[in-house]
Structure 1
Amino acid sequence: MPNLPMKKISKALLLSCGLLALSLNAGAHGLAAGSQARLDARIAPCDAAWTVGAVYSAGSKVSYGGVNYSAAYWTQGNNPAGSSGASATAQPWISGASCQQAKAAANDHDANFSPATLQFLKTNTGLDGEQWDNIMKLINKPEQDSLNWTKYYGYCENINDDRGYTIGIFGATTGGPNDEGPDGPALFKEFDAASGAANPSIAGGLARAGAHGNMQGSILKITDSKTDFYKKIEALQNNPAWREAMWHTFYNVYIKYSLQQARQRGFTSALTIGSFVDTALNQGASGDSGTLEGVLSRSGKSTDEKTFMTSFYAQRSKIVDTNQYNQPPNGKNRVKEWSTLLGLGETDLKNADADVVKVTNWTMK
């Protein structure tokens, strides 16, 4: 066999070495990727995030700050990071292992609404699913300390504010000494209607929920035990008629008035409409100086939307951190979410996912 010229031998050797290096590289990368995958698999997924206002019974599981916890006994308002230890420490939370948040899928905003609700919102508000999804994230952060607002269709709690039970994604109430015009009765009537009743009624809606109660004047008095009523509302979480009724009631009570206030000033942006809805929900739509109506009356007459809204946020910030509305500094942070987005130019709340996450990255007290 003839000898190969040196030049050709060098090329062959280089090619061989290159292929070997690539092979070793790929093998090393595969090992690293495999090790990471195995490491990820060993880290437990995070349980549902702890919520400051929720009631947790013994054995309840939550996560906070990348750690899972279980409740040692009934607890409410105790931050797991500061109220935990081993089972023998008598703390309300027992600390567990580090956990890993699930990776978010691509953000399909419309998937958070039924087709009927999407059409209802587009027809009545002019805003689409992406805009309403972002509005609800901004609203839900200071309400439930979460951007996952769709988890709260079945939310029910008595927060001891003399307004009865607080229910659902916008906090409908059954009424009490501090709320003599509750929206909970309307919600149950809408539920009966959405479920197909020919002559919808509050009693019909309660019956469909398996709940018991009666109207005492304008107040809906629930006669079930607190535990039973919580369970009955929780069971409606994925009920399509309940979700549709929730949005119709939300629109009638808060959104419609907020839209009117925006449009009569010539404002149509999603950010302004959402800001007004958040104020109405948190502080009341109309009435005294603390309501949306009252804040608007002190915000000037400018027809320039940015100028007016800058004044509006300043006026709202003066009153939100009160015992009636929010625990400090939650109220000012609540307003800052919206005002920061205004400064960023995110007025249409479209392609705004990263900025919505950024402005809601604050700690609730």
Structure 2
Amino acid sequence: MQLTPTRRAVLAAALAAAVLAGSGATSAGAAGTVNLTDPHKKEIAMELVSSAENSSLDWKAQYKYIEDIGDGRGYTAGIIGFCSGTGDMLDLVKHYTALKSGNVLAKYLPALEKVNGSASHSGLGTAFVNDWKKAAADPVFQQAQNDERDRVYFTPSVTQAEKDGLRALGQFIYYDAIVMHGPGNDSTSFGGIRATAMKHAKTPAQGGNETTYLNAFLDARKAAMLTEAAHDDTSRVDTEQRVFLKAGNLDLNPPLHWKTYGDSYSINN
């Protein structure tokens, strides 16, 4: 969800284009397993992310979420934590305006342009926060959030995971990583974390063992998280994803039981 200012806007489209140039995401895996693009699996993924990001499985309640969490990225908001300082909130409001001109957030586009790359609230403030919450009741804005989540995060990460020969759990592990660290190739971005993992283990597509590779990826992910104070609670790796991996649940099948930040969650079907 959070990443170095301006990284998303510069790299998201390039990552999506590069990944989508390969095979498209499909629901059925090569071995007949169900991929994360399956509606039920995708719902599980949304709930897992929400447990870590919002301490709730009700991810659809987060369309209206907005606050400055003090991480230097301005406002964090919506179902995937779009940030005013990192470009993806700007892209979201542009997309919303393309779908529905004259919406309640369109007037903030000049301010969002100016604050991009900073923690500034200039031209935004309480009025913007209130209008974001109003917009969240609009089904068109909800669709815009879904669209941008998929374009920037879900589709590129899941498609890359498929190309690496990973099943639903590995696809989710990639998705959760890109949500937090963003696209890109530096050491603390999704591409950099993947590159580090591949130095220690081969992907299944390269002939490697899936569990061994995913452990290497989670090791690299955890190391990246520990470089930032805002991410130094690694429970979404330690007591969520690693739990599923240790159980051998590579297809991410319910029932699922895990903890994030000490709170317990379950998905039973």
TM-score norm. by structure 1 comes to 0.54
Alpha-carbon spacing, 1:306–1:243, altered in 2? closer, same or farther (3 Å): same
Kindly state the Cα deviation for residue 208 of structure 1 after the two structures are TM-superposed.
3.4
Q: How does 1:317-356 map to 2 (within 5 A)?
A: 317-327=222-232, 330-331=233-234, 333-336=235-238, 337-350=240-253, 352=254, 354-355=255-256
| Distance (whole Å) between structure 2 residues aligned to residue 147 and residue 225 of structure 1 | 29
C-alpha separation between the residues in 1 aligned to 2:75 and 2:182?
A: 17
Q: Given the alignment of the two structures, is residue 230 of structure 1 paired with residue 129 of structure 2, yes or no?
A: yes
CA distance 1:234–1:218, shift in 2 (3 Å): closer
Q: Which has the larger radius of gyration?
A: 1
In structure 2, the partner of 1:171 is 81
Verify: 1:298 aligned to 2:187, yes or no.
no
Aligned partners of 1:163 and 1:174 also within 8 Å: yes
Matches within 5 A, 1:143-158: 143-158=53-68
Tell me how far 1:323 sits from its aligned partner.
Answer: 3.0
Partner residue, 2:215: 310
> Is the CA contact 1:194–1:244 (under 8 Å) kept in the aligned structure 2?
no
CA contact (8 A) 1:213 1:222 kept: no
| Alpha-carbon distance in structure 1 between the residues aligned to 2:243 and 2:165 | 22
The answer on 1:138 being equivalent to 2:81 is: no
Is the 8 Å Cα contact of residues 187 and 245 (structure 1) preserved in structure 2?
yes
Ranges in structure 2 where 5+ consecutive residues have no aligned partner:
1-23, 28-36, 264-269
Q: Give the drift of 1:301.
A: 1.7
Aligned residue for 1:288?
186
Which residue in the other structure is 2:93 paired with? 188
Aligned to 1:251: 150
Task: Count how many residue pairs are aligned between Structure 1 and Structure 2.
Answer: 220
Give me the whole-angstrom Cα distance separating, in 2, the residues matched to 1:291 and 1:325: 15
**Greater relative contact order (CA < 8 Å, ≥ 6 in sequence):** 2
Equivalent positions of 1:23-62 (< 5 A) are none
Matches within 5 A, 1:197-276: 207-209=103-105, 211-214=107-110, 215-216=113-114, 223-267=122-166, 269-276=167-174
1:223 is displaced (CA, Å) by: 5.0
Q: Following the alignment from structure 1 to structure 2, what is the Cα–Cα distance between the partners of residues 311 and 287?
A: 17
CA–CA distance in 2 between the matches of 1:239 and 1:271? 32
What amino acid maps onto 2:98 in structure 1? Answer: A
Q: Which aligned pairs between 1:95-134 and structure 2 lie closer than 5 A?
A: 126=27, 127-134=37-44
Distance 1:346 1:211, change over 3 A: farther
Amino acid across the alignment from 1:342: L
Per-residue CA deviation, residues 283-326 of structure 1 (Å, 9 max, x unaligned), is: 12213111111111121224232221122112222232343441
The separation in 2 between residues aligned to 1:186 and 1:362, in whole angstroms, is 30
Task: Give the conservation status (yes or no) of the 8 Å contact 1:138–1:360.
Answer: no
Partner secondary structure for residue 157 of structure 1: strand
RMSD, aligned CA: 2.6
Counterpart CA distance in 2 for 1:210 and 1:260 is 32
Deviation digits for residues 259-294 of structure 1 (CA, Å, limit 9, x no counterpart) = 232122122x22211111111111122131111111
Q: Secondary structure at the match of 1:359?
A: strand
